[in-house]
Amino acid sequence: MTSQEAQELRTIIENESLTPYFQPIIDVARQRVHGYEALIRGPADSSLHSPRRLFDVAMAAGRLVELDLLCRRLAIRAFTQLDLPGRLFLNVMPSTIVERDFREGLTLGFLSEFGLTPNRVVIELTEHVPIQDYALMRQAVAHYRDMGFQVALDDLGAGHSSLRHWAELRPDFVKLDRHFVSSIDREPGKREFLRSILDVARSLGCQLIAEGIETVEEYRCLWELDRSLALLQGYYFARPSLAPPRVVERLLPSGAPLRHEAMRSARAILRPLPPIAPELPVLNLAERFRADPALRCVAVVDEGRPLGVVRRNAFLTLFTNPYSHALFARRRVHELVDEAMLIAVDETPLATLSQQVTDSRDVQQEDFVIVDRDGRYQGMGTIVDLLREITAIQVRQARHANPLTGLPGNLLINETLGEWLESGAAFTAVYCDLDNFKAYNDAYGYARGDRMIVALAQLLGEETGRGDFVGHIGGDDFMLLLAGHDWERVCHHVLDAFGAMAPGFYDASDRRAGGVRIENRRGRMTFHPFVSLSLAARPVANGQGGDPLAIAEDLSELKQQAKRHSGNSLFVDRRQRRG
């Protein structure tokens, strides 16, 4: 700190020459702004314009607490003057809380001065010095909560001991440092780390906020990784500004990202490892393997196209005798290249890639080369990363599947419908509902009713094509998304097959009678014919930008039309519409 900087700081504090900027925190699940983080800037023409330098000088000058309280007051004033929606995330130094604010209630006084209630404020603990007294800090945090504030921990993974802060203070929000978000769409290790952090957050009842999102690929990857990660912040949405947006335009469709390739194709496990040239001296490669013990395989690339690979174990075996150095001193990598490599295009679905790896006869192929559609080298993939990604997808699907049939449940149905609408391709949404099913359950019991539902689920899976989607809404309701132009033929096949199958679920006497007799609520015996299937079809010619909720409402209305027809029936919405 220079004497000039000390004087500048004194002038800034005395004149309150600080400007609050605000950056929105986005709730991508609800498609709205959740709140704003207040960020302070010094005078534009000052060496203390940068907040980092400003606070470093204040700490050196012994005025950190004074500066922090001033920043807090100015941020609250600007937030209320702008009449911003949602919560105000207020950066606070832990030392300030325990030294003055905790005892004197200064923040509460600032809120009262400008007419803001504590339940709209999140105290975001930001480190400049490590916390020394955790017992006092816990007491201060509890005091703030009692007054109606929530608490956030800033920059998880970047501070002095932020993991301990999390365990000791049990904040309501934890903000993940941008290091773990940057390029997460291309780094499987970061995705695995984030999954672990999300598990911890869930166990502690804490919401995670991912900071530093700068690209749409990072955004898609985070949203697909886990839908409980709904709070995002970064330049992709909006930069800090004096007048921040109240509505953020750059959001993916509600309920689903634009596409899943980033997580469900080989791109998900791509590691951008630098390749080597075929003319590289062998001894140079030996040094690279020795310098990087984690490097198991490297691609040999000429003019962007892979020629083969060199695997660590096979390569280092060549250097097991004392004459190896002399033997290979003049040799080049192209003399040792292994051309028997597995190559995957980056757009290859993970399931297809898994089958390719399984079918490979080379058990040594723990690593494979990933190229773009033009065959140009992109990076390497590993079997371990492939299995990890497939397992994560399967676990997520199982978590949201219907427990009876194993078919995708409501969340996955809505996500898939959103994706299909956004793609702009034509398809048909079909709502499937059983008629007279309650009477069957009353007559035969839920166990036999469940067997009928499972049989229907199997039938729907058998009659639909590979590119179609079958989901189980719940009970006896199902959803089909049919991609082909022959969707009406598929629907009639389903109806015919169910019509032939349904009588087999009844006892012989009821089969002969054509249904069951059960006692109604008034004590009278009523006859109910065989369970039948009603299908309500809603063709979508071009759903780009369409609303899944609107489609669901249409189908609910169409279902009522279909159920007015007795027996197995199909009701089609023939109205002309865009989506």
Check residue 259 and give its pLDDT. 39
> Would the pTM count as exceeding 0.85?
no
How many angstroms separate the Cα of 266 from the Cα of each of 152, 176, 272, 303, 369? 36, 26, 12, 22, 10
Backbone φ and ψ of 212, nearest 5°: 85, 25
- Residues linked to residue 41 through DSSP beta bridges, in sequence order: 19
pLDDT band at 209, cuts 50/70/90?
A: very high
pLDDT above 90: percentage of residues in the chain: 40
pLDDT above 70: percentage of residues in the chain: 91
How many angstroms separate the Cα of 570 from the Cα of each of 256, 431, 492, 548? 29, 10, 8, 22
pLDDT band at 128, cuts 50/70/90?
A: low
3-state SS record for 29-41: CCCEEEEEEEEEE
Question: What is the average pLDDT across 212-217?
Answer: 89
Check residue 130 and give its pLDDT. 62
Check residue 444 and give its pLDDT. 93
Give the CATH class of 19-36+82-249.
alpha beta
Query: 């934890």: which residue's tokens?
Result: 174
3-state SS record for 441-470: HHHHCHHHHHHHHHHHHHHHHHHCCCCCEE
Check residue 250 and give its pLDDT. 74
Which range scores top for mean pLDDT: 183-197, 475-489, 542-556? Answer: 475-489
Q: For the chain, what are the domain ranges? A: 19-36+82-249, 267-389, 401-572
Q: Is 122's pLDDT higher than 60?
A: yes
* DSSP structure class, residue 401: B
Check residue 504 and give its pLDDT. 94
- Tens-place pLDDT, residues 526-553: 999 999 999 999 998 876 556 777 788 8
> Which position has the higher pLDDT, 225 or 218?
218
Backbone φ and ψ of 471, nearest 5°: -125, 155
Q: Return the H-helix or E-strand segment holding 386.
A: helix 383-399
- Tens-place pLDDT, residues 492-534: 999 999 999 999 999 999 999 999 999 887 888 899 999 999 9
CATH superfamily of 401-572: Reverse transcriptase/Diguanylate cyclase domain (3.30.70.270)
Beta strand ranges found along 144-225 (DSSP E): 150-156, 173-176, 207-210
Check residue 503 and give its pLDDT. 95
Structure tokens at 240: 């800090």
Q: Is 465's pLDDT higher than 50?
A: yes
- Tens-place pLDDT, residues 244-300: 999 887 776 544 433 343 347 888 888 889 999 999 999 999 989 989 988 999 999
Give dist(CA 493, CA 475) in Å, integer.
Answer: 22
Among the listed residues 110, 117, 102, the one whose alpha carbon sits nearest the alpha carbon of residue 76: 110
Give dist(CA 153, CA 216) in Å, integer.
Answer: 26
Amino acid at 59: M
User: If you average pLDDT over every residue of the chain, what do you get?
Assistant: 85
Q: Is 562's pLDDT higher than 90?
A: no
- Tens-place pLDDT, residues 11-67: 888 888 899 999 999 988 777 899 999 999 999 888 888 888 888 888 888 888 889
Structure tokens at 174: 């934890």
Check residue 543 and give its pLDDT. 63
- Tens-place pLDDT, residues 379-410: 999 888 888 888 877 776 676 788 899 898 88
Beta strand ranges found along 66-145 (DSSP E): 87-92, 121-125
Check residue 256 and give its pLDDT. 40
Check residue 96 and give its pLDDT. 74
> Which position has the higher pLDDT, 438 or 392?
438
Give dist(CA 31, CA 248) in Å, integer.
Answer: 8
Q: Is 305's pLDDT higher than 90?
A: yes
Which range scores top for mean pLDDT: 177-181, 350-354, 559-563? Answer: 177-181
SS3 content of the chain, % helix, strand, coil (to 5): 45, 20, 35
Whether residue 349 contacts residue 264, with contact meaning beta carbons closer than 8 Å, is answered with yes
267-389 maps to CATH 1.20.1070.10: no
Check residue 493 and give its pLDDT. 94
- Tens-place pLDDT, residues 131-149: 667 788 888 888 888 888 9
